[in-house]
Structure formats: structure tokens, C-alpha cells
Structure 1
Amino acid sequence: MSITVRPAAEHEVPAAAAVLAEAFADDPVLRAFRPARSNEDRVLVLTDLFTALVRSVPPASRALDVAVEDGRVVGAAFWQAPRPHAGGALAFLRQVPAFLRTLGVGGALRAVRHLGRMDRARPEAPHWYLAEIGVAAVARGRGVGGLLLEHALDRVDGRGEDAYLESSTPQNRRLYRRHGFGDGAPITGLGAARPVSMWRPAATATR
């Protein structure tokens, strides 16, 4: 079966979140925010968390792309538009119960501190921010991540805008470099995790 990449419908947010949850279950940065607990279904818990994360950004200020094969979501990429996000505070407040349910009070406070450190590393120049990208285990090794990036970056390039992300593994950084991102500085203060900031200038600025 061929894989199609397209914008997600609103009803597909949980399916996309489930793919991200599977992909990030062992991610070192996420483990710093939300350590694994004994006897829990971590993917199920993280599906709720990623659903809340997506919906904490107003629809007009986000882009959620999905890779679909035979009607099943096998990849997802969640982008945030250049700030400010109109209605962002209200959208976030609506998801606070879900954040508290999945993280607990202590975990939520940890997440706020850690996300604050990552946010301070973001460039001040307007940019599209790749918050999350992941591929289901059944579709890995088939270039799905690259297809998701190409789909989104075509959209970003069409607008003549910059893009930014953080990468926590050397393997992922190689993929991002192939799509025009350059390495920045490591982000510290996240425990054992040391994600690296990566910047991709607008296509018009590279010609």
C-alpha cells in the first residue's frame, strides 16, 4: 500500500496522538517531563497527553499532518505557526485538566520548568516550530518521517518563512540536516536529555 501525507481532520487528532505516544514512549526529553510509572499503559497515557498538547494550540495556529496507509494513521507531525497565537491562552486553559490528569501536579510543574527552558532557546525571529514528529513502529524505515517533513516544508517554503525544532538524537539530526536544518546549541537543564536546537532559514533566504 502507498502512503499519503495530508493535513489531519479534527477527528484524527487522537489517532495522530497515539502514533506520537508510541514514537516518544522512550524519548529522553519526555522522560524528563513524565517518567514512566510501574503498571501503567504508557502509550495510552501519552496519547492523552499528546492529544491535549495539540489541542492546547488554537486550530488556526497549528498544522497537524498525518501519513496514512490503507486508512490507518502511521505517522504524524505537529507544527505551531509563528507566534503570537490568537486565543492561545484560552486553548491552553481548556487542556489544563488533561495535563493534570496525565502528569499530576508535580509532573505538570516539572513540565512547565522544562518547557520554559526549551522556549527560552527558541529564536526570537518568527518561525514555524516542529513540536513533535513520529512514525508508528509498523511503518518505520520506509521514509515516512521524510515525507512528513517534505509536506510541511513545502508549505513553509511557499510562505517564505523560517522553521525551528529541537532534536534529541543524532539519528534524527541527520534526517533534519538533509531537509535543510542546521545545528544550533544544545539545550541544557533537562537532566540526562540534551536536545539540540536546529534552524532552517526561509527558502528565499538560501537562494
Structure 2
Amino acid sequence: MFTITPASHADIPETAAVLASAFVGDTVMSTLVHGDDRQRRLTGLFAALMRSGALRTGRVDVARRDSDGLILGAAIWDAPRHRATLAAQLRELPGFVRALGVRGLVSAARLQAVLARHRPSEPHWYLAEIGVSEQARGAGVGSALLTSRLRKIDALEQPVYLESSNERNRALYRRHGFTRMRTIAGIASAAPAAMWREGRQNPVVAAGH
């Protein structure tokens, strides 16, 4: 059993490690972070992302195992019209450089520019990252993380946007009310789908939950 709770700054190291383990085989991340120490560098990258962005201007939700509080999964959300400020990004710049290197930082900036061109202009929540630890996969953790935040967003009648390069994940998002908008071109080794979920009054609960 597990419970969905907001993450705190004290949770950053553990949450970042869980996300790193979930994304170690991701096709998009593989274009940015290379090498034998990829897991460590990804952990640093997610920690810097949380410190510079979502913990300040969005939401980070975690799934905690009830028996011991171990974090099994996490989701990073950006609130409408709230993104990391330049000052916050500059504070975390050393962390980004350690994770990506200078060349990787340039590649990441180009990737973000490609993704940004496809984002809707309408104010929306943005699911930046979601991942589940290997030991908890198949236990409904990802679905529970989505349901928990989408219920809150539905109460505000606001839409949600995300990108997904994994067909299995896209099926999960469709069960939660997302529809495919387009395929995003211009990214090496990946063709992520842009997906949108309209704002609504009543939450859509995934089948089986």
C-alpha cells in the first residue's frame, strides 16, 4: 500500500534517485546524458530541476510506501504560466553542468526550444516528468500519481499538457483522458507525442481505479 503526498525539499535526493532509475533507459534522456555514471548524473539533473522549478512554482507529488515511507514514484508538474525563473535556473546552473556537461547543456536547451514550439498557448498544467521505481512497477503507482493530481486540477477546471515518447505510457495517459495532438519532429532518436487533456468539472478515473 502507498499514499500520494506532496514532496518537500528534504525529499529531493530520494525523489531524484527514483526518477533517475525510471528514466535511465529513456530515448530522449539518452540523447542528453551519456556514460557509465548515467544514473548518478540523471539523479543530479532531476534534483536541479526540482530545486529550480516545480518545488517553487509547481507541484511535486510522491507515492510513499505506507510501511516505511519509501518513495516508490514521483510526478513533477508545472502550474499554468509558472516556469522556473532565470534566477532560479542560474542558482542551479552548477548542478545542470555536472549532470549534462557543457555540450549536454546546449543540447538540452535546443531540446527545450523544440518542445516549447509545440506547447499550446492556452494556460495549462504541464506534466514535466513522472516515474516509478523498478520494484513498484505494475502496482498502479503511476496511475495513482496521475489520478491524485488530476482530481485537483479538475476542481479548477484547467487543462493539462504533456509529451510522451513511450507507447505504453501513452496508453496510460489515454485512460486518464488525454488525447494525442501531434507527433513532435526534430528530436534525435525519438518522436514524442504531444498530448492534451481538456479542463473538466468531474475527474476521469482510469479503468481499474
Q: Secondary structure at the match of 1:77?
A: strand
Q: Does 1:14 align with 2:10?
A: no
Q: Does 1:26 align with 2:25?
A: yes
8 Å contact 2:54–2:78 — kept in the other structure? no
Residues 43-94 of structure 1: per-residue CA shift (max 9 Å, x gap): 1111100000111216341100000112100100000011144x71211111
Instruction: Rate the CA distance shift 1:67–1:58 in 2: closer, same or farther, 3 A.
Output: closer
Q: Where do residues 29-178 of structure 1 align in structure 2 (5 Å cutoff)?
A: 29-34=28-33, 36-37=34-35, 40-57=36-53, 59-69=55-65, 70-85=68-83, 88-178=85-175
Q: Secondary structure at the match of 2:188?
A: coil
- Identity, in percent, stands at 45
**Paired residues, what number?**
202
Rounded to whole Å, the distance in 2 between the matches of 1:12 and 1:205 is: 31
8 Å contact 2:63–2:145 — kept in the other structure? yes
Rounded to whole Å, the distance in 1 between the matches of 2:25 and 2:167 is: 15
- TM-score, normalised by the number of residues in structure 1: 0.93
- TM-score, normalised by the number of residues in structure 2: 0.92
Q: Secondary structure at the match of 2:53?
A: coil
Q: CA deviation at 1:11?
A: 0.5
Q: Which runs of 4+ in 1 moved over 2 A?
A: 204-207
Residues 151-199 of structure 1: per-residue CA shift (max 9 Å, x gap): 1101111111110000111100000000010001111111111100000
Rounded to whole Å, the distance in 1 between the matches of 2:56 and 2:21 is: 26
Q: What is the Cα-based RMSD across aligned positions, in Å?
A: 1.7
